[in-house]
């Protein structure tokens, strides 16, 4: 009966239009992915303690996760490290939590993060992390020099991330 109201070619046209709109909507994120040689746009976001963090020239490594699985990799890699260990290496971890339901974040997730020995900068609106083209389930590592991207790599293994972080100089 729907076929009489909406002929098949109109359904295909509608699907094609929807796909085009979706792809065009994603284009700004793909076009703005941080590339080697580019300077990162400075940003200010709050961490799990509601303290502001501003990306500055002193940050040497930016770790970014776009989902919970990526954040769990960072947590596992830093499991036995003392408070301040990540900061001593001029490294910051930014987590995209825009997909987390607000109530879950307020009541459970963010209070639990306050017990972590490292700072978690929270991208609540998805304004920062999508710029780094983070693969879901992975951690994007951006090596920086005065805000300029020197190199990029992705980690999908906590032990490999732990080793790479341990090789960073302190101070």
pLDDT digits (tens, 9 = 90+) for 105-151: 788 899 999 999 999 999 999 999 999 999 999 999 999 999 999 99
Please indicate, yes or no, whether residues 4 and 73 belong to a single structural domain of this protein.
Answer: no
Please indicate, yes or no, whether residues 113 and 44 belong to a single structural domain of this protein.
Answer: yes
Q: What is the pTM of this model?
A: 0.80
Q: How many domains does the chain have?
A: 2
Please indicate, yes or no, whether residues 14 and 58 belong to a single structural domain of this protein.
Answer: no
Quickly state the pLDDT bin for 15 (edges 50, 70, 90): low
In a domain, 171, yes or no: no
Q: How many CB atoms lie within 10 A of CB 95?
A: 28
Please indicate, yes or no, whether residues 22 and 71 belong to a single structural domain of this protein.
Answer: no
Please indicate, yes or no, whether residues 105 and 156 belong to a single structural domain of this protein.
Answer: yes
Residue 6 has pLDDT above 80, yes or no: no
Please indicate, yes or no, whether residues 55 and 13 belong to a single structural domain of this protein.
Answer: no
> 89: which strand partners?
none
Please indicate, yes or no, whether residues 55 and 105 belong to a single structural domain of this protein.
Answer: yes
Domain span at 13? 1-31
Please indicate, yes or no, whether residues 51 and 11 belong to a single structural domain of this protein.
Answer: no
pLDDT at 3: 52
Please indicate, yes or no, whether residues 2 and 76 belong to a single structural domain of this protein.
Answer: no
Based on DSSP, count helices (H) and strands (E) in the chain, helices before strands.
7, 7
> 171: which strand partners?
none
DSSP-H helix ranges across 100-168: 102-104, 110-113, 158-166
pLDDT at 101: 84
CATH number for position 85: 3.40.30.10
pLDDT at 27: 39
> 154: which strand partners?
140
């Amino acid at each position: 009966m729907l076929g009489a109201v909406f002929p098949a070619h109109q359904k295909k046209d509608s699907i094609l239009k929807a796909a085009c709109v979706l792809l065009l909507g994603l284009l700004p994120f793909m076009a703005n992915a941080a590339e080697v040689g580019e300077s990162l746009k400075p940003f200010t976001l709050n961490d799990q303690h509601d303290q502001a963090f501003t990306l500055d020239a002193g940050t040497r490594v930016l770790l970014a996760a776009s989902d919970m699985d990526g954040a769990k990799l960072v947590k596992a890699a830093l499991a036995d490290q003392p408070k301040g260990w990540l900061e001593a290496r001029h490294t910051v971890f930014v987590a995209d939590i825009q997909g987390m339901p607000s109530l879950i974040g307020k009541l459970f997730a963010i209070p639990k993060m306050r017990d972590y020995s490292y700072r978690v900068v929270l991208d609540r609106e998805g304004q920062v992390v999508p710029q780094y083209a983070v693969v879901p389930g992975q951690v994007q590592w951006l090596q920086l020099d005065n805000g300029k991207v020197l190199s990029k790599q992705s980690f999908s293994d906590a032990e490999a991330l732990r080793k790479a972080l341990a090789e960073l100089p302190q101070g």
